[in-house]
Amino acid sequence: MLEQIKHWIERRRGSQISHHDPANLPTPKTAADQRLSDCRLIVLDLETTGLTPSKDEVIAIGAVAISGGAINLNDQFDLVLRRPELDIRETVLIHGIGPEALTQGHETEDALLYLLEWMNGDPLLAYHSAFDQKFLEKTLKAQLGYTLSHLWIDVADLLPAFFPDANPGGRGLDHWADFFGLEVSERHHAAADALVTAELTLTALNRARKTEINTLRALHEKLKYHRRLKNMHRF
């Protein structure tokens, strides 16, 4: 990853890559009739200085691509951002990213531009995706003026939608990982969390295929229906 972004930055500074005008970046894809088996899906996780998007900041981004119905370990994103001005004293024990790492991290603008190029407009998945979506959209707007909307899928909805009778013992990522017997190498590390979320996503997509949900549009509609049912049961 470090060598890839290094070469990318060199090409960009050599004017071989277009300026970061949104019109020159990949267009976000919509939920149409593309087959899930053919889609490239980006599973993403962020580490932040806190839980409030209005005041806290992104400090690390981890992501891995699913393509051809498998996790592609050669298609990953894992970077700490260079943000030495941020106060991480309250959260350093959670994510383990200290002042030295933030000082030595990648320049935020370069990292975000590379992220957008790497994502290629493909659908984004995250566990409790509203959290990651708010933080990423805020950061992209503040750092790049980028405001295009991407398609997000919440893995926290995806799992119960296809495993309605499962009882993982809670609503967290760890609960579902334990339920399916997945090994989590390192929690609260963006790349590791993205990887286990990708494994859970594949489990759900395999079940989706068995229920003849084969396209991104059908998956999107299934999740909309699941959310409506969940909201109805609250009353």
The answer to whether the CB of 179 falls within 8 A of the CB of 173 is no
Question: Which string of DSSP letters, residue by residue, matches 174-210?
Answer: HHHHHHTT---S-TT-HHHHHHHHHHHHHHHHHHHHH
Question: Which residues, 6+ apart, have CB-to-CB distance to 170 below 8 Å?
Answer: none
pLDDT for residue 18:
47
Q: What is the pLDDT of residue 2?
A: 57
- Residue 138 structure tokens: 């805020």
Which residues of the chain fall below pLDDT 70?
1-23, 90-94, 185-188, 234-235
Token pair recorded at residue 166: 């499962």
Instruction: Give ∠ CA 124-4-53 in degrees, rounded to 5.
Output: 40
Q: What was the pLDDT predicted at 186?
A: 64
Per residue in 203-228, pLDDT tens?
999 999 999 999 999 999 999 999 99
Judged by phi (left if over 0) then psi (alpha if -120 to 50, else beta), residue 199 lies in alpha
Q: ∠ at Cα 137 (136, 139), nearest 5°?
A: 65
For residue 154, what pLDDT is reported? 98
Listed residue (109, 113, 54, 59) closest to 85, CA to CA = 59
Domains and CATH numbers, the chain: 36-232 (3.30.420.10)
Tokens 């370069």 correspond to: 110
